[in-house]
Amino acid sequence: MNFAARLPAHFAFTTLLSALITVSLVACSKTSEPEANKPASPAAASAASNASPAPAAGTAPAATPGPAAGPGAAAGPGAAPAAAPAPVVSVVTVKVEKRDLPVVLRAVGSAISLASVDIRPQVTSAITQVHFKEGQFVNKGDLLFTLDSRTDEANVAKAKAQLAKDQAALADAKRQLNRSRELVAQNFISGAAVDTAQTLVDSTDAVVASDVAAIQAAQVALSYGKIVSPHAGRAGVINTPAGSVVQANVTVLATVVKVNPIAVSFNLPQRDLADFLTAVSGQGNVRVTATLPEEKKPMVGKLQFVDNNVDAASGTVKLKAVFDNKNSKLWPGLFVNVGLTTKKIEDALVIPQAAIIQTVRGPIVYAVEDGKAVSKPIKVVLPAGPEAAVTGVLENDVIVVDGKQNLRPGVKVIERVKEAPKEGSKPDNAAAASATPATGAMPAPGAAPAPSAAPAPAASK
């Protein structure tokens, strides 16, 4: 009975509680709408702005801007990244020249003496004195050796004495002849006596002539005791000192080599023989130069000898040129670089050989146009030592000689300072810095330049 009495009151309380909950929910929903429309906090706004939207289908994602270039730099949202500096290559250039280029045949030759004489005695005797020093320069007729010639001196004296005797006999025969002629004129003797006297005079005269020849022969033998230089030149080693006994025509006393003028012998290949013969027939005197390996200034000589056949073993022809050698720069046996000028190419475009680059498609050079490197294919007409005549370039074109290994078509270039620094002065750092990229290292050909590193921000205290 008590439960039945309380049931209406319980329903009434439940209905009232549901109405209160409904009113509370409505009030909460009205309060949350203005808060959702309020602006977000600064931190939330910054996070929302940094968040990149998802890319649409089929489009490339946008590049994310990199860090700031340095401390204090303002990089707002959407700022473009800084462009990397273009590579700059420092080079040395020359201009293409248009001039006549001589055609020079190159060879390696050796200096040889025009006269090299071995001094040998002509009589067997002993050396009494040596009148020169080893390696001394001697003139023609200078006394070199003195031999023991006492025997020859005695022979000369004996021949002279015999000559005096026979001359006296000749004088007596002439007197007898004159006396016989007088007696025949007076008819004291017959004419046959005169003929006999004349015969005696003639025979005695012949004996005197023989004595004169004997004296000359003795003097020639005596002259062999004094050995003189046959020509001017440089004396070599003394093989036999004073006191040595030497054998006639066998013992070599010394060697005298002629060094002024001097000859240079060299060989030319048979492929150059036609050009050489054409030059010889057209000019007569062909210009020949000889350059020592340690010197740059050549010596000019004159062609003297051309062999009459081509060596079948080597396929070369032998030539010889003569050079004035007053300063004794050329020495017998010395190797020299020989140049033989045969003709010249008129109005040739000449560039240094160092500017030519050999590629799989042929030789090229790099020219500088509007501050950039431009590749130009060329054809080498004639290499001439450090230079070459080419086609494919124009006169006064600026060609890169040094630094071409770092170039590619379109790369910016800058002319390197050519003036050498004075002695004791420091190199121009400013010029060197301006000639190199900002990264401090030359980029490899074809590689993208590395971005410049931003300086680290200062640590906040």
Q: What contacts 67, CB < 8 A, 6 or more positions away? A: 75, 454
First to last CA, the chain: 85
What residue ranges do the domains of the chain occupy?
91-96+346-418, 103-114+259-343, 119-146+228-257, 150-223
Residue bearing tokens 């002065």: 425
Which pTM value belongs to this model?
Answer: 0.54
Q: Exposed, middle or buried: residue 298 (CB in 10 Å: 0-12, 13-18, 19+)?
A: middle
Would you tell me how many other CB atoms lie within 10 Å of the CB of residue 113?
Answer: 21
Amino acid residing at 199: T
- The pLDDT, as a whole number, for residue 446 is 45
Amino acid residing at 211: D
- The pLDDT, as a whole number, for residue 399 is 92
Please give the class, per CATH, of domain 150-223: mainly alpha
Nearest 5°: CA angle at 447, between 442 and 448? Answer: 90
CA dist 371 → 344, 404, 410 (Å):
35, 14, 9
pLDDT mean by block of 10 residues, the chain; 461 residues: 54 71 63 47 42 40 42 45 70 90 87 92 93 92 94 93 93 90 83 87 93 94 93 91 92 92 92 80 74 87 88 91 90 91 85 91 91 91 85 91 88 76 44 38 43 41 35
β-bridge partners, 311: 316
| Cis peptide leading into residue 261 (ω within 30°) | yes
CATH level 3 topology of 119-146+228-257: OB fold (Dihydrolipoamide Acetyltransferase, E2P) (2.40.50)
Q: Which CATH architecture has domain 91-96+346-418?
A: Beta Barrel (2.40)
The secondary element (H helix, E strand) that includes residue 92 is strand 88-95
Average pLDDT of the chain is: 78
Per DSSP, helices labelled H in 187-300 are 191-223, 273-283
CATH of domain 103-114+259-343: 2.40.30.170
Coil vs helix vs strand at 245 = strand
CATH topology of 91-96+346-418 equal to that of 150-223?
no
Q: What contacts 417, CB < 8 A, 6 or more positions away? A: 428, 431, 435
- The pLDDT, as a whole number, for residue 23 is 64
